[in-house]
Chain A
């Protein structure tokens, strides 16, 4: 499950253009979500926004670590 979660999160980061190399690739329409993930791609992207970009938690951590 950890492997699935990390790979999904990795792909979402690329999808949003957050990737380190600034590559950007849309999530494939046929992206298979693991069975334990209750929801659609849209929910995955919502969760991603909630837990990363929009939450500003990342920026807060970076500021604290300066």
Chain B
């Protein structure tokens, strides 16, 4: 754990943002948390990892067109994260922070595709809004890849838990990822 902290502390702005998140009233901590190590002990490594990833990721889309509604994008992602984490029962055995992470990152492929295809992708977005067609269908038709696949690929590169990446990959599919536990009863 100390090694992880030492690595994180190489980026002081990252540390500052993570600490501002963990000390916000989001978590209801009564005592101020003054260091990453303290945050990991009190909140757990998974939760701090999520905050670090979110903090790191939210300002890294620096090649997006000016018209890209980044705030709406993150607002929607966080909404999905809170809802999905909130509906999973406490006794399920599922790591709630993994669910939250999946919700936060599941659509980030949209921003990546917009950076990769700055001329084409805004038209795909506009068409999805105008014609009320699911975005992933238009992506497949126009550029042959869906944002879910891109997001999952990036998650794998970040070594995010495999289960999270797999769920993100098929979040528009009709069947759960192979090997996942699906409780139906």
A residues touching B (Cβ–Cβ < 8 Å)? 1-10, 12-13, 18-23, 25, 34-38, 44, 47-48, 50-53, 55, 57-62, 64-65
- B38 interfacial contact with A, CB 8 Å: no
Assess whether B83 is in contact with A12, with CB atoms less than 8 Å apart: yes
Task: For B92, give its contact among A1, A10, A61 (CB under 8 Å).
Answer: A1
Contact: B171 with A65, CB < 8 Å? no
CB of B73 within 8 Å of the partner chain: yes
CA distance A20 to B16 in the complex (A): 29
- Measured between beta carbons, the chain B residues less than 8 angstroms from A4 are 176, 182
Size band of the interface chain B makes with A:
35 or more
A47 and B80 alpha carbons, distance in the complex (Å): 12
* Contact between B80 and A13, CB atoms less than 8 A apart: yes
B75 near A6 with CB under 8 A, answer no
Judge whether B55 and A47 touch: CB under 8 Å: no
Minimum C-beta distance from B177 to chain A (A):
6
Nearest CB of A to B130, in Å = 9
Query: Given known contacts A64-B24, A65-B58, is B73 in contact with A9 (CB within 8 Å)?
Result: no
- Residues of chain B touching chain A, judged by Cβ–Cβ distance below 8 Å, are 17, 20-21, 24-26, 54-55, 58-59, 69, 71-76, 78-89, 92, 94, 98-99, 102-103, 106-107, 110, 125, 128-129, 132, 134-135, 163-164, 167-168, 170-171, 176-177, 180-185
Q: Note all chain A residues with C-beta closer than 8 A to B103.
A: 6, 9
Q: Are B26 and A61 in contact (CB under 8 A)?
A: yes
Nearest 7 CB-CB pairs, A to B? A51-B86, A9-B84, A9-B83, A52-B79, A3-B176, A51-B82, A5-B84
The chain A residue sitting closest to B176, CB to CB, is A3
Checking A10, A18, A21, A34 against B75 with a beta-carbon cut-off of 8 angstroms, the contacting residue is A18
Q: Which residue of A lies closest to B125 (CB)?
A: A21
Chain B neighbourhood of A3, CB < 8 A:
167, 170-171, 176-177, 180, 182
Which of A21, A25, A53 lies at the interface centre, i.e. has the most chain B CB atoms within 10 A of its CB? A21
Q: Is the CB of A21 within 8 A of B135?
A: yes
